[in-house]
């Protein structure tokens, strides 16, 4: 999560889960704006967790960023097709690489939160908190 802070897309607060099962217990779509999930988590992997989120009509709008060491086109395609993730980031990565990958996802969240108005520039700090990350206006 330190890499996310280094992206300077805003200030983030995180609620972290040690397993996919714990993430399910903590997840609340009314308080969550964006999820960062690893493919390899104990109890329930990231694909299973993402599928849970996508199967919940009340949570379908929450973007999911898969941050993982799993490489290969087939793995990425599975994440997009089977779990309908929003973005795939392969470890290791730099803060700049992460920023490039998630910039549009963050902008979409900020736009949705502002009621469809143009999102604030990436350099404008925003107060943010929540599950994996919650973007507050």
Pick the CATH number of 2-113 from 3.40.50.300, 3.40.50.2300, 3.40.50.360, 3.40.50.720: 3.40.50.2300
Query: What's the whole-model pTM score?
Result: 0.78
Query: Is the pLDDT assigned to residue 133 strictly greater than 90?
Result: no
**39-90 pLDDT tens trace:** 998 888 999 999 999 998 888 889 999 999 999 999 999 999 999 999 999 9
pLDDT of residue 8: 67
Spatial CB neighbours of 76, under 8 Å, sequence gap ≥ 6 = 88
Taking a C-beta distance cutoff of 8 angstroms, is the pair 50, 83 a contact? Answer: yes
pLDDT band at 4 (very low <50, low <70, confident <90, very high): low
Q: What residues are paired with 65 via a beta bridge?
A: 36, 87
Structural domain spans, the chain: 2-113
């Amino acid at each position: 999560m330190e890499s996310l802070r280094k992206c300077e897309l805003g200030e983030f607060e995180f609620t972290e889960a040690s397993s996919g099962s714990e993430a399910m217990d903590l997840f609340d779509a009314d308080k969550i704006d964006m999820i960062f999930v690893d493919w390899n988590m104990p109890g329930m992997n990231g694909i299973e967790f993402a599928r849970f989120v996508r199967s919940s009509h009340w949570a379908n709008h929450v973007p999911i960023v898969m941050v993982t060491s799993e490489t290969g086109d087939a793995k990425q395609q599975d994440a997009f097709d089977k779990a309908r993730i929003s973005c795939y980031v392969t470890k290791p990565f730099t803060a700049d690489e992460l920023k490039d990958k998630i910039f549009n996802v963050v902008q979409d969240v900020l736009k949705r939160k502002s009621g469809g108005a143009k999102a604030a520039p990436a350099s404008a700090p925003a107060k943010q908190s929540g599950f994996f990350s919650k973007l507050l206006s």
